[in-house]
Amino acid sequence: MKPAEYIQTNKQRFLEELFGLIRIPSISSESSHKQDMVKAAEYLRDQILKAGADRAQVMPTEGNPVVYAEKIIDPAKKTVLVYGHYDVMPVDPLELWKTQPFEPQIIGDRLYARGANDDKGQSFMHVKAFEYLVRENLLPCNVKFMLEGEEEIGSPSLEKWCADNKAMLKADVILVSDTSMIAPDTPSITVGLRGLSYVEVSVTGPNKDLHSGIFGGAVANPANVLAKLIADLIDENGHIAIPGFYDDVVEISADERAAMAQAPFNEQEYKKALDIEEVSGEKGFTTLERTGIRPSLDVNGMWSGYTGEGAKTVLPSVARAKISMRLVPNQNWEKIADQIRDFLVARAPKSVKIEVKKLHGGSAYGADLKSEAYRAAEEAYMEVYGKKPIPTRSGGSIPIIAVFEKVLGIKSLLMGFGLEADAIHSPNESYLLENFYRGIETITSFYLHYGK
């Protein structure tokens, strides 16, 4: 049976199996979901075993477990290590969801649920491509699976786990589907990822909330101080004002920038989709450059004082912000976290106390476009989509990709089938069903070309 036919025949079962995974609310950043992490891992283990693995197990780490599985057909043949993650982002604000986030629902041509794409949907395509190759007796190489449960919180335990299991994880390439493509009919391969440095800042003023009338004007207000500190982080040209921040940034050549400008991008549609009147960012760079080759800084969360209904005249004791920076190749996330800490601490007035906590981070990544794996992927996309995939740089981060290269010495290949419209990390995350099916087909084709 051809892959497309196999998928067509089994699609209802594929979806039901995926739904079982999605229904487990495996939110890694909320400790109340600790048990769900184990449940999701066990569910995946069972699925991969059923698909045809020689062995599959839930392996403990210092944090959430890793699902490891393998099928070794011949140690002399090439080995593909599939990486993915079964943990998902939190779902708040819940009131903005049109469906229940953990009750998958098909509306039109899309599957709606937290994790529909990121990364349960995308990871599951690999399980199904593997199933096809095993059942049809077409598997041309060895396959290993490594599916973790901490990607959305920065993979804090995976580096050590990889180092501890280096021999077991030996492979020629790491295959990952956790990124997007340009459009349903415009396949692309992500060849660059930004790094991440994520900190939490707290500014403490008086030892308790005060009456803003009795004390207002005489006591530093931590919310006002925090606002000023945040404002100082970016200058009027959109440059990040932290001393040394750009020191390690590799400037991109004019040629490369010209090549990037060829990628299809419609700024009018981009603005319309987001309902914004103007894009905004670092002066002298285009929108694609701003997210693809330049670092950025964003407040991800900010809170202080009274946030309920009506008016409360409080001078808050504490103000907090979560701030993250996206990094480009060569920037070191820990050094950047130190730099922002030093900057904020140095600028905070003596009337407050300031604390800057590193939450997590990782390096940026650049792919090897000349590798055998990349060429096999190109052929696979050609076969399924009839088009050569466009190499793109994503503004997002999968910090662990850089760790794999460092610890395991293995390059990754990012065959992502998401779309911008999928709203990952947001309410109403969804996944185009078409991309789920074509993803399975393209991955299958990749194996057949790569394993030749």
- Considering only residues 3 through 42, tell me which ones interact with a copy of itself, judged by CB under 8 A: 28-31
Closest distance between a copy of itself and the C-beta of residue 214, in Å? Answer: 5
According to CB under 8 A, which residues from 133 to 152 bind a copy of itself? 152
* Residue 52 binds a copy of itself, judged by CB under 8 A: no
Give the 3-state secondary structure of residue 34. Answer: helix
Interface segment toward a copy of itself; rule CB under 8 A; list 61-69, 367-375, 377-385, 388-396: 388-396
| Overall residue count recorded for the chain in this entry | 452
Element (H, E) at 36: helix 34-51
Which tokens in the block code for residue 34? 């600790």
User: How far is residue 88's CA from residue 113's CA, in Å, rounded to a whole number?
Assistant: 11
Sole binder of a copy of itself in the list 349, 387, 388, 452 (CB under 8 A):
349
- Residue 326 and residue 194 in contact, taking contact as beta carbons nearer than 8 Å: yes
What ranges in 358-432 are assigned the alpha helix state H? 372-385, 399-408
- Answer for which of 54, 103, 259, 303 binds a copy of itself (CB under 8 A) is 303
- What is the Cα–Cα distance from 382 to 386, expressed in whole angstroms? 4
Binder of a copy of itself out of 106, 168, 182, 302 (CB under 8 A):
302
How far apart CA 73 and CA 80 sit, in angstroms, is: 12
Q: Which residues pair with 107 in a beta bridge?
A: 110
Residue selected from 134, 234, 249, 263 as contacting a copy of itself according to rule CB under 8 A: 234
**Structure-token pair, residue 431:** 């996944």
Q: How far is the CB of 240 from a copy of itself (least distance, A)?
A: 10
By beta-carbon proximity to a copy of itself, the closer residue of 232 and 334 is 232
Pick 197 or 444: Cβ nearer a copy of itself = 197
Which 8-state DSSP code applies to residue 87? -
Q: Is 297 in the site for a copy of itself (CB under 8 A)?
A: yes
Rounded CA-CA distance 331/347 in Å is 23
Whole-number minimum distance, CB 77 to a copy of itself, in Å?
36
- Smallest separation (angstroms) from a copy of itself to the CB of 415: 17
Can you say whether residue 441 is alpha, beta or left, with left for phi > 0 and alpha for psi between -120 and 50 degrees?
alpha
Q: In this complex, which beta carbon is closest to a copy of itself, that of residue 315 or of residue 443? A: 315
Distances (CA, A) of 73 to 79, 124, 207: 10, 22, 65
* Cα dihedral sign, 119-448-3-181: positive
Say how far apart CA 234 and CA 122 lie, in whole Å. Answer: 36
Q: Which is nearer to a copy of itself, 75 or 93 (CB)?
A: 93
Give residues 113-132 in contact with a copy of itself (rule: CB under 8 A): none
Restricted to residues 203-232, the positions that interact with a copy of itself (CB under 8 A) are 205-221, 223-224, 226-228, 230-232
The single residue among 99, 105, 186, 426 that binds a copy of itself, judged by CB under 8 A, is: 426
**What are the structure tokens assigned to 98, written together?**
């049109």
Q: Which of 37, 56, 153, 443 contacts a copy of itself by CB under 8 A?
A: 153
Between residues 11 and 360, which has the closer beta carbon with respect to a copy of itself?
A: 360
**Nearest approach, Cβ of 178 to a copy of itself (angstroms)?**
11
Residue 39, classified by CB atoms within 10 Å of its CB into exposed (0-12), middle (13-18) or buried (19+), is middle
**59-78: contacts with a copy of itself (CB under 8 A):** none
Size of the site for a copy of itself (CB under 8 A): 102
Binding window for a copy of itself (CB under 8 A); candidates: 73-81, 105-113, 423-431, 438-446? 423-431
CB of 204 to a copy of itself, least distance (A): 9
Separation between Cα atoms, residue 338 and residue 344, nearest integer Å: 10
Question: Is 51 one of the binding residues for a copy of itself (CB under 8 A)?
Answer: no
Residues 6+ apart with CB under 8 A from 426: none
- Whether the bond between 264 and the residue before it is cis, its omega within 30 degrees of 0, is no
- State the minimum distance, in angstroms, from the CB of residue 410 to a copy of itself: 23
- Decide whether 200 or 383 has the Cβ nearer to a copy of itself: 200
Stretch that binds a copy of itself, among 9-17, 38-46, 48-56, 294-302 (CB under 8 A): 294-302
The single-letter DSSP state of residue 40 is: H
Least Å from the CB of residue 342 to a copy of itself: 19
Using CB under 8 A, which residues numbered 307 to 326 contact a copy of itself? 307-316, 319-322, 324, 326
For residue 128, what is the enclosing H or E element? helix 120-135
Tell me which residues in 240-279 interact with a copy of itself (CB under 8 A). 274-279
Q: Which of residues 165-204 bind a copy of itself (CB under 8 A)?
A: 180, 194, 196, 198, 200
Beta bridge partners of 197: 325, 361
Helix (H, G, I), strand (E, B) or coil at 112: strand
- Please state, in angstroms and rounded to a whole number, the distance separating the CA atoms of residues 407 and 353: 38
